[in-house]
Chains A and B, each alone.
Chain A
Amino acid sequence: KQEVTQIPAALSVPEGENLVLNCSFTDSAIYNLQWFRQDPGKGLTSLLLIQSSQREQTSGRLNASLDKSSGRSTLYIAASQPGDSATYLCAPVGPNRDDKIIFGKGTRLHILP
Chain B
Amino acid sequence: KAGVTQTPRYLIKTRGQQVTLSCSPISGHRSVSWYQQTPGQGLQFLFEYFSETQRNKGNFPGRFSGRQFSNSRSEMNVSTLELGDSALYLCASSLHLAVLVEQFFGPGTRLTVL
Contacts and interface: CB of A to CB of B under 8 A. Distances in A.
Interface string A76-113: 00000000000001000110111111111110000000
B90 A43 contact: yes
A44 B99 contact: no
A76 to B, nearest CB: 20
Chain B at the A interface: mostly helix, strand, loop or mixed? strand
Given A42-B108, A44-B90, A105-B42, A49 B99 contact: no
Interface of B: 4, 6, 33, 35, 42-45, 55-56, 58, 88, 90, 92, 97-108, 110
26 contacts: A31-B99, A32-B100, A34-B103, A41-B108, A41-B110, A42-B107, A42-B108, A43-B6, A43-B106, A43-B107, A43-B108, A44-B92, A46-B102, A46-B103, A46-B105, A93-B98, A93-B99, A94-B99, A97-B55, A97-B99, A100-B45, A101-B45, A101-B98, A101-B99, A101-B103, A103-B42
